[in-house]
Amino acid sequence: MAQVTLRKVVKKYDEVPAVRGVDLDIADKEFIVLVGPSGCGKSTTLRMIAGLEEITGGDIAIGGDVVNDVPPKDRDIAMVFQNYALYPHMNVYENMSFGLKLKRRPKDEIDRRVKQAAQILDITELLDRKPKQLSGGQRQRVAMGRAIVRDPKVFLFDEPLSNLDAKLRVQMRTEIKKVHQKVRTTTVYVTHDQVEAMTLADRVVVMNAGLIEQVGSPNDLYHSPATKFVAGFIGSPAMNFIPCKLEQAAGGLRVKLTDTLAFPVPADRTSRYTAHLNKPSLVLGLRPEHIMETRPHSEPNQHDFDQKIDVVEPMGMETLVYFAINGTDICGRVNPNAGAAEGRSMKLRADLNNMHLIDDTTGKVL
């Protein structure tokens, strides 16, 4: 059993806070991804779990034991670094067995565990090579192998794929997921790439400015973000934020974007939104995929509007269209055959079933 618990964890560097009180419960065998922009404190949090940074306040527990003052080697963790941190003068076998050798494990046990890990990662034929003879992807595998060999309570990954090229990154992402399915160890993974976070995680922790914005499954975060930051951070292209007014209209509420453009709010949200009627600084959040070309068939709460398109970006399977409403740039995703053309007007459809109403002063999704 190796659950990891963080209680009000604070880290300050000379009074400058990097992590400002993080509470997090990580279940046994869970794959948790910490994601956020650079400087949000995600790496610092990971390094505090590893014991590489002292914590300024709060408690960290691994497997139920508070480890605040326990040195890294006694925390029973393994870490994979962004730049791999392989020992350059040792071959792959020596790199992987270094930790076990320091623990004075019997030779045959070391050999068995190294070979087993090498097999899981498919690096058996690389065991007597030096790190400089390996490609980036192979080095990353060895770094993971070094972690697996030690059979730790917790795996810590610090942006392990950031140094790989785009294609290899996708490949190694799948690899990491496979390894986790085989090894089933509690894993904390730090990345700034929301796609990595979404694809790998059981639960994603979105961090911003030293605080946790939201914790949830990838789908939770995507479909019901708690804050404007999460809504804008998860998903690519990012969610559109359009300043709007919430008004009373015949038969319910409506969001008014411009004098000529307003959409009725879905009836099931009326009670939730009524309290915010006529509030200033409201923002309508609508993902690009919920702004599409018009179709003959219409479902409830979908509304068509005419819009002049400024920029068209064909992506192959879809086409991104950009236009402006009241000076706010907005992105929509339309069918490549819908006939989107720059400078021309087009009939678009907004799917209000997936709308979010955000209070811009608090940043909360209402």
Q: How far apart are CA 267 and CA 224, in angstroms?
A: 18
Q: Based on CB atoms, which residue is closest to another protein, 87 or 107?
A: 87
- Closest C-alpha to 61, from 95, 28, 106: 28
Residue with tokens 């290899």: 168
Site for another protein in 51-70 (CB under 8 A): 51-52
Q: Which residue of 1, 15, 38, 88 would you call a contact of another protein, by CB under 8 A?
A: 88
Contact 147, 123 (CB under 8 A): no
Is 133 a binding residue for another protein by CB under 8 A? The answer is yes
131 binds another protein (CB under 8 A): yes
Phi, psi dihedrals of residue 76, rounded to the nearest 5°: 60, 55
**Token pair 């990838």 in the structure block, residue:** 218
CA nearest to 48, candidates 2, 83, 85, 6: 6
Q: Indicate the residue among 86 and 231 with the shorter CB distance to another protein.
A: 86
Looking at beta carbons only, is 38 or 278 nearer to another protein? Answer: 38
How many of the other CB atoms lie within 10 Å of CB of 162? 14
Residue 252 interacts with another protein (CB under 8 A): yes or no: no
- If you count DSSP H runs as helices and E runs as strands, how many of each does the chain have, helices first? 9, 22
One residue of 102, 166, 275, 317 binding another protein per CB under 8 A: 102
Q: Verify binding: residue 83, another protein, rule CB under 8 A.
A: yes
Listed residue (190, 211, 210, 212) closest to 201, CA to CA: 190
Q: How far is the CB of 166 from another protein (least distance, A)?
A: 15
Q: Which residue, 6 or 92, is less far from another protein as judged by CB?
A: 92
Interface map 215-244 toward another protein (x if CB under 8 A): ------------------------------
Which parts of this chain interact with another protein (CB under 8 A)?
A: 50-52, 71-73, 77-79, 81-89, 98-99, 102-103, 130-134, 136, 139, 146, 150, 163
